[in-house]
Structure 1
Amino acid sequence: MISAQAPGKLYIAGEYAVVEPGYPAIIVALNQFVTVTIEESHDYGRIASKQYQENSLYWERQGTELVFDNRDNPFHYILSAIRLTEQYAQALGKPLGIYHLNVNSDLDSADGKKYGLGSSAAVTVATVKALCQFYDIHLSQDQLFKLAAIAHLDVQGNGSLGDIAASVYGGWIAYRAFDRDWLASARRELTLIDLLNTDWPGLEIELLTPPAPLRLLIGWTGSPASTSHLVDRIALFKATRRKSYHQFLDESRDCLHRMIQGFHNGDLVAIQREITFNRQLLNQLAHSSHVTIETKLLKTMCDTAVTLGGAAKSSGAGGGDCGIVIIDAAKDLAKLLHDWEQRGIEPLKLNVHHVTE
């Protein structure tokens, strides 16, 4: 039995700007995981998820193709990861096998609450990792990121792929997205092996060390958001208000550069100052584009944290889901968490997860 895990993630800062190549974000990997197991089979294969027991997917092998006996399934990211990883395995001369693949996720709660922790990215990464074990393929973290990023992009079609980076590298990372137009062209010109071994323009991934007193708190507001739809609506704003959009990009880039420098210097106050500024930038973007990023409950969550000495903002695309707080561990954290619960905000008991290659 082969087993592989990938962690969920949350954005700390740099949302929306990060979809543009070279514009930084800070993302953190969390200690909640998607686990993919693979067991060899001989006649037919099965793809199943503990979360979707009624939708198990059965398949057969016809040559190098996976042929399914039902089309209506929730496993698009898994299937894309299988397709890309097996394409890579074939390029390395590996014979393809048949297997049962099972998925179990603790990124959502036991009663089905969706916390917005990047389950689609984590399941993509975990599937690629498990299949690479199955086919005895060693990938570096950089190669794993690239293969999983292609598989994820083939399904989602937009986004920065920063959540893939968090699931691969773990910990706190500064991330700058690659040029997706370049990738589309390169896929027509390069083999998959060459594509995974070449530098991708714009892509930068740097592990960060937080200051010792820094404490990350996460609050969930109970209203899941669709990242893809929100990113699409900001793309419309980009097309119609180019000057305003580029001003937002420039200010976000400068803010993130200062924040990353705060990590390098171990300066919690500087990091908090830029978290506050990034929140203002996102609220300005929301106002200009008529997109709801900071919902009423997210605002309450953030404002409550600020009164107790924290710096807070929405996380990711916003529109619901989670908010984050960066606060000195010496502050009265118990009071803050109690205040959240009184206002219907669920504190998530999560810690940063570090990956060893």
Structure 2
Amino acid sequence: MTGGRAVVRRAPGKLFVAGEYAVVEPGNEAILVAVDRYITVTVSEAAGPGVVVTSDLAPGAVRHAWQGGRLTGGTDTPHVVAAIETVAALLAERGLPVPPLDVSISSTLHEDGRKFGLGSSGAVTVATVAAVAAYCGLDLSLEERYRLAVLASIQVEPKGSGGDLAASTWGGWIAYSAPDRDVVAGLARGGVEAALRAPWPGFSVRRLPAPNGLRLEVGWTGNPASTTSLVAGLHRRTWRGSASHQKFVATTGDFVSAAVTALEEGDAEGLLRQIRRARQELARLDDEVRLGIFTPELTALCDAAEGVGGAAKPSGAGGGDCGIALLAADAPHDISHVRQRWAAAGVLPLPLSPALEGIEE
């Protein structure tokens, strides 16, 4: 316990650089980057029993009561509630009490009610786990925080890759492959402590250097998208397990591996080639399965970047939200030109930079 002092933790949002869709399946690598907009969670002692949650993303404060290890009293903030329950389960297994908690959430991943698709669900899960654990006196490694966040997120979104959780935890540019979530869910049934200690098949994460001589530009299409529904829509189709599916996974694995090598070797042109391949493969998938990954705005975003020698693609599931572009850092005129073309196409350039650190005090 912190002796009543408030504990503050913040976690950055994220963007997928390459490997989305394929990363949902265990062991397939993706590249992500954390971005410098944040979810901040402040935990202090509540005036009464249970847990009070206040969020600028939900109306008013909600008091939750404990019942059988679960919180009752509303579902406006399911990721926050799941994160608190998961930390509480670990405390209970260690014979430690859960004090009355006042949990306050603020976000810069949204603006004037607009959702940018920067991984707010993952960031709030990571920040809540870190803040509640620290307030309750738990000293956790980065990987333990990530694992607790995954255990929490499975309760809300069982099929997610967890890439957002990894980016928010470690920060910067990372190569990430997801654990087998069915295995993890099975481990969780044996207790949180056991799940923290057991091997997680498929999981890996490592930091990558930032691109050499390239600037990350981000454009928002003005339309929110649901990653959960897009991924679920893909897996409901007969595509899963088909020859096309196998080709997509193999091709994605090839260009992600090549992009990781390009980042590690500082090969800017090599990285641009792989990002263009990523766009082409997502377009092939979209043409074949008709998911709606590419909107007119996302297509215009990509075309504008490629028109000045850069590379661009949707970030994440597509269907709206953000696209990313990598442009020559020493060509400000080209960057300005791309931003102007985006604005003309209804794409809002977002002032974002990579967040070099993940979860912060």
Task: Classify the TM-score, shorter chain.
Answer: over 0.9
Any conservation in 2 of the 1:43–1:60 contact (CA below 8 Å)? no
TM-score after normalising by structure 2: 0.93
Q: How far has the Cα of 1:317 moved from its partner?
A: 0.2
- Determine the structure 1 residue equivalent to 2:169: 168
Please list the CA deviations of residues 16-56 of structure 1 after superposition, one character each: whole Å capped at 9, or x if unmatched.
0000111111000011000111110242442111232x342
Q: Is the 2:234–2:240 Cα contact (8 Å) retained in structure 1?
A: no
Percent sequence identity over aligned pairs: 38
> Which whole-Å CA distance do the structure 2 matches of 1:220 and 1:258 have between them?
27
Q: How does 1:9-88 map to 2 (within 5 A)?
A: 9-44=14-49, 45-52=51-58, 54-61=59-66, 65-68=70-73, 71=74, 73-88=75-90
The answer (yes or no) to whether the contact 2:13–2:123 under 8 Å persists in 1 is yes
Alignment of 1:313-328 (within 5 A): 313-328=313-328
Q: After superposition, where does 1:88-99 map in structure 2 within 5 Å?
A: 88-99=90-101
Quick one: structure 1 residues 66 and 160, their matched pair in 2 at CA, closer, same or farther if it must change by over 3 Å?
A: closer
Return 5+ residue gaps in structure 2 as ranges. Answer: 1-5
Aligned to 1:154: 155
Q: Kindly state the Cα deviation for residue 65 of structure 1 after the two structures are TM-superposed.
A: 5.0
Q: Does 1:337 align with 2:339?
A: yes
1:191-206 aligned at under 5 Å gives the runs 191-206=191-206
Partner of residue 9, structure 2: 4
* In 2: Cα distance, 1:13 partner to 1:356 partner: 19
**Aligned position for 2:274:** 274
Cα distance in 2 for residues equivalent to 1:246 and 1:13: 17
Q: Is the contact between residue 55 and residue 74 of structure 1 (CA under 8 Å) also seen in structure 2?
A: no
Q: Residues 340 and 93 of structure 1: is their aligned pair in 2 closer, same or farther, counting only changes over 3 Å?
A: same
Separation in 1, partners of 2:167, 2:302: 24
| Deviation for aligned residue 1:66 | 3.5
Q: How does 1:213-252 map to 2 (within 5 A)?
A: 213-237=213-237, 242-252=242-252
Q: Is the 8 A contact 2:314 2:324 kept in 1?
A: yes
SS at match of 2:20: coil
CA shift for structure 1 position 210: 2.0
Which is worse superposed, 225-234 or 328-337?
A: 328-337
Counterpart contact for 2:9–2:41, Cα < 8 Å: yes
Q: Which amino acid aligns with 1:33?
A: Y
Aligned to 1:349: 351
* Contact in 1 for aligned 2:39/2:124 (Cα 8 Å): yes
* Matched residue SS, 2:297: helix
> Post-superposition shift, 1:337?
1.2
Q: Deviations over 1:251-278 (max 9, x none)?
A: 1001111111101111011110000001
CA distance in 1, matches of 2:307, 2:346: 18
TM-fit CA distance, 1:233: 1.1
Deviation for aligned residue 1:194: 2.3
Equivalent residues of 1:61, 1:98 under 8 A apart: no
| Residue of structure 1 in register with 2:3 after alignment | none
- In 2, the alpha carbon distance for the partners of 1:241 and 1:79 equals 35
Which whole-Å CA distance do the structure 2 matches of 1:27 and 1:346 have between them? 21
The CA distance in 1 between the partners of 2:99 and 2:139, in whole Å, is: 17
Q: Which amino acid is the alignment partner of residue 296 of structure 1?
A: P
Describe the shift of the 1:302–1:180 C-alpha distance in structure 2 as closer, same or farther (beyond 3 A): same
The Cα offsets for residues 116-137 of structure 1, whole Å up to 9 and x where unpaired, read as 0000000111110110111110
The code of the aligned residue for 1:184 comes to A
Aligned-partner Cα distance in 1 for 2:275–2:66: 50
Q: What is the CA distance between 1:239 and its match in structure 2? A: 5.1
The C-alpha deviation readout for 1:198-235, integer Å capped at 9, x for no partner, is 22111010100023312100000101101000000111
The C-alpha deviation readout for 1:286-309, integer Å capped at 9, x for no partner, is 111111101111000110111111
Equivalent-residue separation in structure 2 for 1:279 and 1:237 (angstroms): 22
Aligned CA distance change for structure 1 residues 97 and 63 (closer, same or farther; 3 Å): farther
In the alignment, residue 141 of structure 2 is paired with which amino acid? S
How far apart are 1:241 and its partner, in Å?
A: 5.8
Change (3 A) 1:205 1:63: closer
1:240/1:148 CA distance change after superposition, 3 Å = closer
Secondary structure of the structure 2 residue equivalent to 1:354: coil
Superposed displacement of residue 63, structure 1? 7.5
> Could you tell me how far apart the structure 1 residues matched to 2:358 and 2:57 are?
28
Residues 292 and 319 of structure 1 are in contact (CA less than 8 Å); yes or no, is this contact kept in structure 2?
yes
Shift in Å at residue 60 of structure 1?
A: 3.5
Normalising by the residue count of structure 1, what TM-score does the alignment of the two structures yield? 0.94
Alpha-carbon distance, 1:64 to partner:
5.2
Which whole-Å CA distance do the structure 1 matches of 2:127 and 2:152 have between them?
Answer: 12
- Aligned AA for 1:300? A
Flag the 1:240–1:203 CA change in 2: closer, same or farther, 3 A.
Answer: closer
